Structure 1
Amino acid sequence: METFSFATSSALNKLAVHVRIDRLDGHHKAIPYSVLLSRPDLRHRASITNPHSELYVTAQIWADSKPLTVPVQTSYKSFKNARIWNEWLSLPVTYSNLPLSAQLAITIWDLSPAEAGESNLHAVPFGGTTIPLFDSDNTLQKGRQRCKVHRHKAADGLSSSMTPWVNPPARKSKKDVAGPDTLNEQVAEMGRLEELLKKQEMGDIPQDPWLDQMLFRKMMKLRNEALKAESVSKRHYSPTKELQRDSEKGELEPVNENFYLDIELPRFDHPIVFADVEYPPPPMSQAQVAPGSDVRLRPPPEVSFGPGIDVNGNGYGDSDVGRLIQIYDPEVGQLENPAEAKHRRLVRSMQTGAEREMKPNPAVRDHLNRIMSYGPLHEINLHEKDMIWKFRYYLLRDKRALTKFVKSVNWKDPSEARSAASILPKWAEIDVDDALELLGPQIESQVARAYAVERLKKADDDELLLYLLQLVQALKFEIRTSETGDSDVASDSSLKNFLVTRASNSLTLGNYFHWYLMVEIDDRSEEQAPHHEMFARVEFEFLEALEGTSEGAARKKTFLRQAELLMILAKASKDTRYAREDRPRKITRLKKFLADPKNELIHIDPPLPLPLDPAVEVTGIIPDKASVLKSSLVPLLLTFRTTTNTEYPIMFKTGDDLRQDQLVIQIITLMDRLLRKENLDLKLSPYRILATSTSAGAVQFLPSMSLAAAVAKYKGSLLAYLRANNPDEAAPLGVRKEAMDTYIKSCAGYCVITYLLGVGDRHLDNLLISPSGHFFHVDFGYILGRDPKPFAPQMKLCKEMIEGMGGSPHPNYSAFKSYCFTAYSTLRKSSSLLLNLFALMKEANIPDIAMEKERAVQKVEERLLLGMGEEEALGQFERLIEESKDSWMPMVIDRVHGFVQHWRA
């Protein structure tokens, strides 16, 4: 079978129904003078006085004999030789809301001031037609349609319409004036030509302007002849009888005049098939059964219909025995058992002095310890929530228990919420990772979120900067806490007030806070539309708070100058990228642009804090050191002069959203700090990345060389590269000890981190090494397990990396594995912090998180192996290292990638 593509009508949820009113074809019959004497009101009817009088058209959607929309009317148009409107009408309903029975009722109105009646419209129906929007195959009609107009009738839109757009085939008559054979031949020929015209409009038949023009004139002539022949063929025509007024209805009887209205419906690339809205089934109970309980789900009772009951609507007798009666019970959708909920409220509302001294027995204590070890993603069932509430005073000394306690409280119960709020200040001080969990999407209590903010206030600026990206995203969850859904709740947000206050008092925090907000404001995607106004208001309040500080005016001016600098660099980047020149000419163009005094880039006075790193103040750009890198997006390599007489190279590019790379570098920076706290310095190189908009950003440039280039330059040996840059004949392998240690440690650190983050698309071109031996990764376009190449390994450990250590038999490889085990074990201990950071990024518009929001955090959790013990997890991780070392697929991927890059060059 040939491939058949189609779309569903439910997918067109933003497109209104449109119809183009094209032209009216037909011939008026002369009204005898005797009729005009008996009916003097007809003398004022516009269509009788002038065959090309002004008419207007109304269109309305009907369904199931009821109007679905209000009528839409064409604009005024004056006709000369033919009634041609050529006007598109937009009806106030989308295609996704159309039922299958939808019909388009089109009425042509004739001006008649003498017959206004009670409507005061001063118009009477010239004729009407009703066309269904879906055909017999449930496919949306499209293209040009020729509709039969029923004279003196308004389109009714009923299910059994009296004004159908096509008439059933009429019986042949021997008394036809034009002759039945002649008439049928003309009508058939006209129909054949119209079908060919439709095919040409749909692109099935090629166009020839010269022949088509002659054909159209011939078609119009045939159409007029067919209309005249069809009119003459009507039997027993009596104008006097047909224009008589019905004494009861006060309407005119239909006249045997043949009029056709040409309309056009929108065309789509694929057929549009009707698809009804699928509503979710009635919700089932989500009450969780306590572990170990003997509660079992019983099957529904089997109910059969009794004798003589009509089962299938075809009569009595042959019934379908065994069918079940389906009844919707609204109580089934409740999240919990009402009786159990009331019992829990009664128990928790009882305040007795004995609760403060209550202690668990050994079995309950073990169960509580097991609950405290749950990760942030683990769901707590009702039985465990009741246990935590019962022994809440006993758990006051355990800081791990606070997040579990907050999740076990029914914050919608006022008395329970008051009791819980009074306990929170007495709890043992929680860690930062628990505070971040309380700011996540699952916590709706303002009291609990405010408590988390109080904990964050004790963090210094350096620590707060590690979580600032996630805290800005957490503002979205502050809005959700509003029961009305009003975004004004952010004005009373403790998190927002805290961030604004701290950012206004710190240059570094304020710089990054400002640019994080600006990127969110710049994001105009549909997913982020509900948050756009909120972020704009937070930015406004931040700039207002700056005015209250001593350096506020200067810092606001700094933000403005930074924005101007980035706009100039963005213009240079786009001009360079779109210039149809080779790379040397692009570099020359860039240098000329930077050296132009009008752009004010050679000298920046006063010095400007760099948005990428506000601790660095730049005084200008060195044009002679500018370059254009080899990449599809043509990034610019720019070198800034600083106030300390040093150089600061950056890479600036447009056309790419750097927010995902920015997140990965932020996580690597955090992991580096966690490892250093355990006295493990793995010589990581978390260079700086700042997304300045959704399509531009800056990256700190570290002098380095890709492994592909290093291996090619030193004849396939990474060890030769290290030996050439760090020679020491007395040291093992001829490499200076400090450089080899740096290389081994950085390889171990990045192997563990990129595995935990699921970084994909790893090849020798995005693995870099510096002359000092620092190994690091770049280009994080694929994370969380995504990889464009099939059968890619979970960890990038290629033979070139191992060869640089001296090979797998060398003691350096054993040291490498030892560093990997220590780093993996250390980061597993901080699993809650890492998972909470990813949970806060759930609503961020980051591609690999947005693809599977609910699974993003779970993917990181799965790689941490939290369900295993320490020894078992390290054994599994060692097997992963050996599998990655012995895998042949990375070599294939690297060779294929190298071949593709060579072919592109």
Structure 2
Amino acid sequence: MEAFSFATSSALDKLQVHVRIDRLDGHQKPIPYSVLLKRPDLRHRASNTNSHSELYVTAQIWADSKPLTVQAQTVYKSFKNARVWNEWLTLPVTYSNLPLSAQLAITVWDLSPAEDKDSNHHAIPFGGTTIPLFDKDNTLQKGRQRCRLHRHKAADGLSSTTTPWVIPPARKGRKDAATEDIVDEQVAEMQRLEELLKKQEMGDIPQNQWLDGLVFKKMMKIRNEALKAEAAAQRRHNQAYSRDVNGTSDMADDELFYLDIELPRFDHSVVFTDTEYDPPPMTTAKLPSDSDVRLRPPPEVSFGPGINVNGNGYGDGDAGRLIRIYDPEIGRVDNPAEAKHRRLIRSQQTGTLDRDRKPNVDARDRLNTIMSYGPLHEITLGERDLIWKFRYYLLRDKRSLTKFVKATSWRDPLEVRQAAPLLEKWAEIDVDDALELLGPQFDHPIVRGYAVERLKNADDDELLVYLLQLVQALKYEAPGEGDDSSLARFLITRASNSFILGNFFHWYLMVEISDGSADQAPEHRDLFAKVEFDFMFELEKTSEGAAKRKTFLRQGELLTILTKISKDIRYARDDRPRKIARLKKFLADPKNELINIDPPLALPLDPSVMVTGIYPDEANVLKSSLLPMVLNFKTTTNTKYSIIFKTGDDLRQDQLVIQIITLMDRLLRKENLDLKLTPYRILATSTSAGAFQFIPSMSLAAAVSKYKGSLLAYLRANNPDDTAPLGVRKEAMDNYIKSCAGYCVITYLLGVGDRHLDNLLISPSGHFFHVDFGYILGRDPKPFAPQMKLCKEMIEGMGGPSHANYSQFKEYCFTAYSTLRKSSSLILNLFALMREANIPDIKIEREGSVRKVQERLWLEVSEEEAMRGFERLIEESKESWMPVVIDRLHGFVQHWRA
């Protein structure tokens, strides 16, 4: 098959439609004197007085029986030997805006000053023709076209036009068959020569001036003979009919005229393509960033017996016949009828009467039920009206503020005027509850400004826990607010006054700016870049701003060098010992300036640590597939700070999980429950690089292998105490039991998957913790994986399922689960703010990610039922055989790789 090229009509978005009016060919029959006696006004028509009289042409584009443009007209021109205009007309529409049904209606006008009855132009139609701009193959017509002119008719441009540019051949009678065959041969020869002329004009046939001149003369002669023959044949066909057109008998049928026009030629065929417009702005719901309307899949069509599916039915080949139609009602936040009802009801609930209204017993019970709803619970129309009715009564309950905001229509100016003053009078909400008001469903600046005012009550330590979500919340600012929002100004101000806060704020923004994937909208990258620019500008105003900016610059240089070294190590074709030797050589190279860092530099991973250099001899390369580097930094306190730096992986998901673990540890400590968690530090420095704190530890697989299948033996070897139960120092055993309970609960709530003995670690002091969070929210690459990772090795380290330590472990689990359920709103709000983040397991199902966490909190059941269910979960995980199979398979694969 030969290669072919074509262009689309939508690509011609700046080129207007053009047509060249060339010439008019035909023979006009003289008007008999008998007709002129009856119609003396006909003698004033210019075409009747002179066969080469002045005519002018108008062209107009029609579509679907309606005019699409105004008319374009040729200049007035006198003719001598032939009616030749040779004039290009420009129509006021571009090719990209042409519909498939577009037609060009061309009318030739005859001057007639004596017949100015219906027109102010002193003209009547000489003839008209209508030619479609796209042929039957949906390809734009081009080049020379010969159009049949319908006498005494203006081109109508209708879909079923009465002035077509081509008339199909009439059926032949027996008597005229032989004569008409001769006529058809003459017309066919004329058409053949015209096709050859088109090819020559397109450059397909070479030109020869002296020979072409002879051919053109012969063509004109053949054309004239063909016109006469065709007109005579037409006259014979119509001799049995008579019709009066402006006083003439059948002149319109006897006279045959053709109008030659020329359409622009293009290098390639131009195929019609329709423009895909955005959905009409009839919905109050926010559309996705790519303005795509997410429609349901087409329905499945089932056929009964005996129906020919592959013939005329909707078979596999005809699946495209099922079309999707945009419904503007899909996605509406408010039903129009309900919105009308709300306005009518609330317009009556104004004045002093509402201030004194108190709910009865039933209304108070309903209000208490509504106040207990979680942040994801939808409030019905009746519940919204009830909240609005008793809004003054609810002013003292801080739980009700978010419900009142949801019950208010912030697009109704009347309700906004009534609701806005109440926000300042409401009982002050907690900082963590204010996060809900920064979510995507609240875009009114008054609501978001109120939430920011409450955030000002948080200290820097608390703000740092929420900072990752607050940076993402910048995406939800209303159009027009952008980087000048109250949230952006607040974050910039606080980050400028705190170096630690500013350090993480800077790197969170830099990662989002560097995200060039399709999942990061360009307007969001621009927003983060503007916020970063404003942050740097605000830093300059502070006393230490210049020094802080220089620190951020030096941090960037350090990370750039480490990234280059890491990539060189990864792509080097050496075994691991040689890679380690290469790494040590790179670090010891003075030109890399890593042996001595002067002046001391705040480490981006932990800005409270000032580093002065790296120990090259202590560097290492781990066995992982991405070959991460282990680096030991010198600090100003003469201690070592170990980090793992890796490239080729996006650490933002791990960063989110560690941030949530840090938050949950903070919540548990508030309830005097220290579960000895190890939320190590982690920082994504770009979309493909990052660093995390190295904790001296050993994987459970290595510990069990080293101590002959016993984790208890590992604890006893590192913390011996002959007087303590099981021979393990009490403090180490407490660390182990508590940390096991904490991580079992947290990893269950977060749905952490791909758990095996190689990503479960334990430190010599007994602290147990998880690493590698590549799968969360219930995703797991292995089938039938348990919801909670509680393997027999972990229980054996406690002394077995019959030991008192295992009972203590379950008590810690119940307490931790109950405590975190009480803070469910905060946890769900943080995940809701991350809904649009470019994190792998969240972007798979953005709306469902928050609900997956909510399902594991069991908020719909009582506290007692939740504890019984969680105990069943522990027992099922303990007795599950699948983790044993998974751990053995993983160990076999790791051994085979090694």
Candidates 743, 747, 758, aligned match of 1:765: 758
Q: Secondary structure at the match of 2:607?
A: strand
Q: Give the match for residue 5 of structure 1.
A: none
- 1:760/1:786 contact within 8 Å kept: yes
Alignment of 1:324-723 (within 5 A): 334-337=335-338, 339-348=340-349, 350-352=350-352, 354-477=353-476, 479-480=477-478, 485-486=479-480, 489-491=482-484, 493-526=485-518, 527-723=520-716
Q: Distance in 1 between matches of 2:134 and 2:650?
A: 48
- What residue number does 1:787 align with? 780
1:847/1:100 CA distance change after superposition, 3 Å: farther
Query: For 2:644, what is the secondary structure of its paired residue?
Result: strand
Aligned letter for 1:241? K
The C-alpha deviation readout for 1:794-846, integer Å capped at 9, x for no partner, is 10111111111111111111111110000000000000000000011111111
**Distance 1:411-1:582 versus aligned 2 partners, 3 A rule:** same
Aligned length: 676
Contact 2:570-2:626 at 8 Å conserved across structures: yes
Check whether the contact 1:129–1:148 (CA below 8 A) recurs between aligned residues: no
CA distance in 1, matches of 2:425, 2:266: 80
AA paired with 2:720?
A: P
Identity in percent: 69
When residues 570 and 13 of structure 1 are mapped into structure 2, their CA distance, relative to the original with a 3 A threshold, is farther
Q: After the TM superposition, which residues 778-857 of structure 1 pair with which residues of structure 2 at under 5 Å, given as runs?
A: 778-857=771-850
Matched, 1:736 2:716: no
Q: CA deviation at 1:414?
A: 2.9
Unaligned runs of 5+ in 2: 1-6, 14-61, 70-93, 104-130, 149-156, 167-180, 182-203, 206-216, 228-254, 286-326
**Cα-to-partner distance string for 1:848-902 (whole Å, 9 max, x where unaligned):** 1111111111111110000000000000010011111111111111111112222
Deviation (angstroms), 1:393 = 2.0
Shift of 1:444: 2.4
- More moved, 560-569 vs 629-638: 629-638
In the other structure, the counterpart of 1:754 is 747
TM-score, normalisation: structure 2: 0.68
Cα 1:332–1:885 change in 2 (3 A) is: closer
Amino acid paired to 1:486: G
Change (3 A) 1:416 1:63: closer
Alpha-carbon distance in 1 for matches of 2:438, 2:644: 34
The CA deviation at 1:263 is 6.7
1:210 match: none
- 1:282 to partner: Cα distance: 9.8
Secondary structure of the equivalent of 1:639?
A: strand
Give the whole-Å Cα distance in 2 for the aligned partners of 1:744 and 1:275. 64
SS at match of 2:609: strand
SS at the partner of 1:698? strand
Structure-2 separation of matches of 1:431 and 1:669? 19
Q: How does 1:88-107 map to 2 (within 5 A)?
A: none
Offset at residue 345 of structure 1 (A) = 3.4
Query: 1:450-489: per-residue Cα shift (whole Å, max 9, x none)?
Result: 1211111111111111101111111111x22xxxx335x4
Match of 1:85 in 2: none
State how far apart, in whole Å, the 1-side matches of 2:499 and 2:342 are: 51
**SS of match in other structure, 1:730:** coil
Please give the alpha-carbon distance, in whole angstroms, between the structure 1 residues aligned to 2:512 and 2:258.
65
Contact 1:768 1:777 in 2 (8 A): yes
Q: Identify the residue that residue 221 of structure 2 maps to in structure 1.
A: 241
Q: Which runs of 5+ in 1 are unaligned?
A: 1-11, 19-61, 70-91, 104-127, 136-140, 142-146, 164-172, 174-222, 225-236, 255-259, 267-272, 286-326
Q: Is the 8 Å Cα contact of residues 729 and 735 (structure 1) preserved in structure 2? A: yes
For residues 895 and 452 of structure 1, the distance between their equivalents in structure 2, rounded to whole angstroms, comes to 51
Question: Hey, what's the Cα distance between the residues in 1 that align with 2:767 and 2:334?
Answer: 58
Distance apart, 1:707 and its partner CA = 0.9
User: Quick check: 1:102–1:134 contact (8 Å CA) kept in 2?
Assistant: no
Please list the CA deviations of residues 723-768 of structure 1 after superposition, one character each: whole Å capped at 9, or x if unmatched: 1111112211111111111111100000000000001111111111
CA contact (8 A) 1:284 1:334 kept: no
SS of 2:439's equivalent in the other structure is coil
Instruction: Measure the CA separation in 2 of the matches of 1:386 and 1:494.
Output: 30
Report the Cα distance in structure 1 between the residues aligned to 2:732 and 2:739, rounded to whole angstroms: 11
Shift of 1:419: 2.5
C-alpha distance after superposition, 1:643-686 (max 9, x if no partner): 10011111111111111110000000000010011111100000
Q: Give the structure 2 partner of residue 306 of structure 1.
A: none
Give the C-alpha shift of residue 632 in structure 1.
1.7
Secondary structure in structure 2 of the residue aligned to 1:455? helix
- Alignment RMSD: 4.5
How far did 1:336 drift? 3.5
In structure 1, distance between residues paired with 2:283 and 2:375 = 26
Given residue 373 of structure 1, which amino acid in structure 2 is its aligned partner? S
Q: Is the 8 A contact 1:759 1:784 kept in 2?
A: yes
Q: Is 1:879 equivalent to 2:889 in the alignment?
A: no
Please give the per-residue CA displacement for 1:232-287, whole angstroms capped at 9, x wherever unaligned.
xxxxx964535769899786799xxxxx9997999xxxxxx9999998999899xx
Larger Rg: 2
Contact kept, 8 Å, 1:610 with 1:616, in 2: the verdict is: yes
Please report how far the alpha carbon of residue 344 of structure 1 lies from its aligned counterpart in structure 2 after TM superposition: 2.2
Per-residue CA deviation, residues 325-384 of structure 1 (Å, 9 max, x unaligned), is xx9999999444354133123123x211x4333221121111111111010111111221
Looking at structure 2, the residues matched to 328 and 694 of structure 1 have their Cα atoms a distance apart, in angstroms, of 38
Q: Distance in 1 between matches of 2:609 and 2:695?
A: 16
| Pair 575,790 (structure 1): closer, same or farther in 2 beyond 3 Å | same
Residues 569 and 100 of structure 1: is their aligned pair in 2 closer, same or farther, counting only changes over 3 Å? farther
C-alpha contact (below 8 Å) 1:618/1:641 kept by paired residues: yes
* 1:121-171 superposed Cα distances (whole Å, 9 cap, x missing partner): xxxxxxx99997979xxxxx9xxxxx99989899xx9999999xxxxxxxx
Q: How does 1:222-233 map to 2 (within 5 A)?
A: none
Map of 1:297 onto structure 2: none
Q: Is 561-570 or 273-282 further displaced after alignment? A: 273-282
Identify if the C-alpha distance between structure 1 residues 585 and 666 changes in structure 2 by more than 3 Å, giving closer, same or farther: same
TM alignment of 1:16-35, pairs within 5 A: none
Residues 568 and 599, structure 1, Cα contact 8 Å, conserved in 2: yes
Partner secondary structure for residue 800 of structure 2: coil
Matched residue type, 2:795? I
Aligned position for 1:896: 889
Which amino acid is 1:445 matched to? Answer: H
Classify the secondary structure of the residue corresponding to 1:448: helix
1:684 and 1:746 in contact (8 A); partners too: yes
Q: 1:819 to 1:338 in 2, by over 3 A?
A: closer
Indicate conservation of the 8 Å contact 1:152/1:252, yes or no.
yes
